[in-house]
Amino acid sequence: MATFLHRAARWAFRKRRTVVLVWLAVIAAAVVGAVNAPAAPEESSSMPGIESQQAFDLINERFPGAAADGAQARIVFVAKDGQQVTSAGNRAAIDQLVDAATKGPQVAQATSPFTTDAVSTDGTTAYATVTYKVPADDLTDASKAALDKGIEQARRSGLTVEAGGSAVSSQPEQGLGEALGVVVAAVVLVITFGSMAAAGLPLLTALLGIAVSLAGITALSSAFGFSSSVGQLAIMLGLAVGIDYSLFVVSRYREERAKGRPAPEATAMAVGTAGSAVVFAGLTVIIALLGLSVIGVPMLTKMGVGSAFAVLVGVLVALTVVPALLGFWPNAVLSRRTRKATSHDGVPTTQTASGNGAQENKVGRGGKAPLGVRWARFVTRRAVPVLLLSVVGLGALAIPSLDLRLGMPGDEAKSTSTTERRAYDALADGFGPGFNGPLTVVVDTKTAHDPKAAVQAVSDQIAHTKGVVSVSPPRFNQAGNAAILSAVPSTAPTSRQTQDLVRSIRDERPAIASATGADFKVTGTTALNIDIAQKMQDALAPYLAVIVSLAMLLLMIVFRSILVPLKAALGFLLSVGAALGVIVLVFQQGHGAAAFGIDETGPIISIMPLFLVGIIFGLAMDYQVFLVTRIREAHLHGEGTGQSIVTGFRHSARVVGAAAVIMMSVFGAFMTGGENLVKMVGFGLAGAVFFDAFIVRMAFVPAVLALLGKRAWQLPRWLDELLPRVDVEGETLVQQTATPDAPSEPVAVPYR
């Protein structure tokens, strides 16, 4: 692989104009496709294989035209202090809204609170339900405008009117996001490289990558069902890895130039060595993201595919566009000292290569060794306390993850500035928290001897179940072989008690079916979210096992070792546990939530842990490869255990640290706005990168390697012969091009 990338980089360096033109054509094609593509669909919570989805399918089958997934708006009316919603004036205003809503476009029916007993006991609150013929995705602007107009007219009567439900959706506030992440990344790159050009090149290529990936995702949004969240997450991940991958290549290029290699050969060596690590790291991220598709959750699959596409584009840009741009400006990315010492033909002088450049690797400013070198020496001398402290610290942070509770937060998690949240609160105050998440029960009476008696038996049993406030009268279909009931819990939709209630109702099913011959299924938004959460929780451990096993195999191939992969897997688990623990602390338990702009705490979004595990796996492999390959390279050159760790940190610690800060900045910036899922993912990934890069890779890894010594790099002979060889370090290239003055291919334009 290293040899192939070496040749590809030399070609990209020579044919730089062709490479740039091809990528500009790709951008143009993607943008044209995005502009002409239909609008992206809204998120869908459908999921095959769970009871709630089976119940939805049964409703669509037995109640044709009812649209089980049809949009619904619940309009809540609250009278002024001392008044009743049943007073003549308030009642007239409510009836007027219901009548207008009934005549609205795409409306299936609108129910009045005065005919459905939807008035609170104290008479201060009431609600009307508007059901549409189509899902929320297919509602037209005219339908939404008609509903908004009716609500505004009702408010003029003096009533407080709020609306919630799938038909009512407010756009989340947009934060600084990408812009803030790019600004912080630029500052970090300038500090790291000491050159505006060197800092600008990774930013430029990363922006190119996300432009292509975002335009491509937008162009395919209708065909593949990509929603806005898919695009946001793809930008987040694509921007982070795009900057990092280009950063590693540019850093290695500067290192090769400091050794005395001419620009074409330095570019080829940088891509052949650092580029090999980029390919490996990128593939691990892509595999982990695509692996989300095996779980069987459409939403999760789409997020994984979209993000994997963004990572793939980032890898391709780093391997092609970066060497092409280095061909245009081979000296601009070098440090000022190296540029001054570079001869007119673009080759650093012998003094720079053998003296200043080498010296810069050994000492930092003011004659001191670089911080990474000093830290590596500290860890190798105090390996046991560093190891214990890192393991105990991350383990302590992981403890809250044992209380992980999954769910799909609804309107209760939105800001109080939204009408959905105010409607939720008003309904909970007037009727109890369970009214915000009624359970829908569909009864299949096809095999029952007396369908009406069977449905009544189901209704009576559910009504007497502890935790149920009320059960609505049954509504039969025309064929008389199915009926729908609505059961209102006494607790909030996301509470543990409601989860237990759904399980209790389902546990009663065998006895009822045996006595009546009728079967029933529980569904509705609340039950659907509970089922999704359970499926995600059940899939977490197997998915984690697959990811860890894959990491072990890949790292055994790369590092020709058993203990190093074991160490990496343990470090990965520590990072995952700590990241999930911190998420639970903030988003579920509420510790420090206000400081991060979190309005409401509650269960962790169901797909979050699986998505987080997949991404953390890829990022952990990034730092593992870029750091440990340099340590192994020094070990292969004959250095002792402690010295090889110091050498590896000398070459890679600063770059890995800069890459981690950039990733944390990009991920953290997405907490300034956007949807809850994006904010939670941004927070979780920023924390995971910190734990993995600065604690696991910078403390845990060198401490373990120092304690293992030479045993870390041992591999049984039979396994060594069995595993394929992948030259990620580019050792073959180093041997082939050991002489810096080796002839290189001519360059058509003079160096600037």
Q: For position 338, what pLDDT does the model report?
A: 67
Neighbours of 660 (CB within 10 A): 23
- 486 touches 553 (CB < 8 A): no
Q: Are the C-beta atoms of 696 and 571 separated by less than 8 Å?
A: yes
Per-run averaged pLDDT (10 residues), the chain, 752 residues: 84 92 92 79 64 87 69 88 87 90 86 85 89 81 87 89 81 59 78 78 88 88 75 79 86 85 89 84 82 77 87 92 90 74 53 39 58 90 94 94 83 78 89 87 89 91 90 87 90 89 92 89 89 85 82 81 87 90 88 73 82 78 80 83 90 84 80 67 85 91 91 86 73 59 40 34
**Cα–Cα distance for residue pair 444/54, rounded to 1 Å:** 12
**Dihedral in degrees, nearest 10, Cα atoms 524, 530, 531, 537:** 160
Which of 99-134 are b and which e, b meaning 16 or more Cβ less than 10 Å from the residue's Cβ? ebbeebebbbebbbbbeeebbbeeebbbbbbbbbbb
Structural contact between residues 94 and 105, judged by C-beta atoms closer than 8 angstroms: no
Q: What are phi and psi of 164, to 5 degrees?
A: -135, -175
722: burial class by Cβ within 10 Å (0-12, 13-18, 19+)? exposed
**Pair of tokens at residue 657:** 């640290």
Which residue spans within 519-575 are E strands per DSSP? 519-523
Q: Of 688, 689, 672, 671, nearest to 680 (Cα)?
A: 671
Q: Residue 740 has what pLDDT?
A: 46
Tokens of 453: 């008696």
Q: What is the structure's pLDDT at 350?
A: 46
739 C-beta neighbours (distance < 10 Å), count: 9
CB 729 within 8 A of CB 629: yes
Interior/surface letters 272-287, b for 16+ CB within 10 angstroms, e for the rest: bbbbbbbbbbbbbbbb
Single out the residue of 31, 461, 386, 370 nearest to residue 219, CA to CA. Answer: 31
The model carries a pTM of: 0.77
* Predicted local confidence at residue 480, as pLDDT: 85
List beta partners, residue 486.
Answer: 440
Name the token pair of 5.
Answer: 């990338």
Give the pLDDT confidence score for residue 42 in this predicted structure. Answer: 56
CB 272 within 8 A of CB 733: yes
pLDDT score at 359: 40
Q: Which of 665, 673, 656, 685 shows the shortest CA–CA distance to 183?
A: 665
The DSSP result for 483-543, as a single string, is: EEEEEEESS-TTSHHHHHHHHHHHHTHHHHHHHHS-EEEEESHHHHHHHHHHHHHHHHHHH
Count the residues in the chain. 752
Structure tokens at 350: 């012998």
